[in-house]
Copies of this chain bind each other. A is one copy, B any other.
Amino acid sequence: MIKVGIVGGTGYTGVELLRLLAQHPAVEVEAITSRSEAGVRVSDMYPNLRGHYDALAFSEPDTRRLGACDAVFFATPHGVAHTLAGELLAQGTRVIDLSADFRLRDADEWATWYGQSHGAPELLEHAVYGLPELHREAIREARLIAVPGCYPTAVQLGLMPLLETGLIDAGHLIADCKSGVTGAGRGAKVPSLLAEASESMKAYGAGGHRHLPEIRQGLADAAGGQVGLTFVPHLTPMIRGIHATLYGRLTVEPGDLQALFERRFADEPFVDVMPTGSHPETRSVKGVNVCRLAVHRPGDGDTVVVLSVIDNLVKGASGQAIQNLNLMFGFDENAGLAAPALMP
């Protein structure tokens, strides 16, 4: 039994960590912090947790108490982990950061996209990008994990087999992504109101989105060189789920794409390559740490289309964070992550 802390637990990734950890056989939540809600019981804020964490209340961040944990999750806006991670690491606590703070290896690029200077560049060399399908061995040894973003997870898993094998033109990739509204967080903003966001579909950030440099960095790792990517996210009238539709142009005759994908992910517990001709639905991964993929080659032409779905709050955030924790502490990789998706 290990003890974990959660910093910034009032948002959707925070409550999702609690929901999933309630089923984890080897983890106890020792502390969950929130400046604004300190003193409030988590089950008063999130009634789905009534009966599960009845003694747990939000507390002021306290680095001594957090430092006594084996691991601490950051479910915070960007910038917070910069401030606190170093101190916790110094106390021997492992840090699993769900924010963007340590995802980009280049502190200057981070500063450009986030509009402030990087707060802990000295930690960057220790940070491991927590995508197990690409960095599993490094994760096992890591003390600081940057959990990938939701869009980056769906896009990287979908394009990985094609880029690793050099089958497509890496200079002209297209990722048309559709996300449920929890991707925008729990902040009270007019465009996220049910009255504004339901019964409608729209793109946003077509000119440039903060996940773009992260995706490019990850795809470049897979491709072994720079990539060119057009990334258009869309707001979809649903609570959870990301559907990434990925387009690449074949540069060589690819052989059996279905077999390529199946082979690539044969040993991956959380990537499910669906049968030829499938169209994965986001609801098939609602609440679970799974990425389902299908690969198409319309009309046997030179364009390959990959369909990739995840739950943005699970494989795109809190579930992937726990998968990283499991690897770091030698637990079964699917501990706490074994239940099937809720469907319908």
**When each residue 312-343 of chain A gets 1 if its CB lies under 8 Å from chain B and 0 otherwise, what string results?**
00000000000000000000000000111111
Q: Which residue of B lies closest to A183 (CB)?
A: B195
Are A202's CB and B280's CB within 8 A? yes
Answer whether residue A51 sits at the interface, using C-beta atoms and an 8 A cutoff.
yes
- Report A167-221 residues with CB < 8 Å from chain B CB: 172, 174, 176, 178, 180-182, 186, 188-190, 192-204, 206-208
The answer to whether A198 touches B239, judged by C-beta atoms less than 8 angstroms apart, is: yes
8 Å CB contact of A305 from B206, B286, B298, B305: B206
A79 interface contact, C-beta 8 A = no
For A342, the closest partner residue in chain B by CB is B287
Give A260-288 as 1s and 0s: 1 = Cβ < 8 Å from B's Cβ atoms. Answer: 00000000000010100101111111111
Name the B residues within 8 Å of A243 (CB-CB). Answer: 201-203, 234
User: Shortest CB–CB separation between residue A297 and chain B, in angstroms?
Assistant: 8
Does residue A258 face the partner (Cβ distance < 8 Å to B)? no
Residues in B neighbouring A245, C-beta threshold 8 A: 176, 203, 232, 234
Beta-carbon contact of B206 and A296 below 8 Å = yes
Interface centre among A199, A208, A294 (most CB of B within 10 A): A199
Instruction: Provide 29 A-B residue pairs closer than 8 Å at the C-beta atoms, listed in order of the A residue.
Output: A15-B344, A19-B340, A19-B342, A19-B343, A22-B340, A48-B283, A48-B284, A48-B340, A48-B341, A48-B343, A50-B272, A50-B292, A172-B303, A176-B176, A176-B247, A181-B193, A194-B239, A198-B198, A199-B199, A199-B238, A199-B240, A200-B286, A203-B307, A206-B296, A206-B305, A234-B245, A236-B236, A237-B237, A237-B238
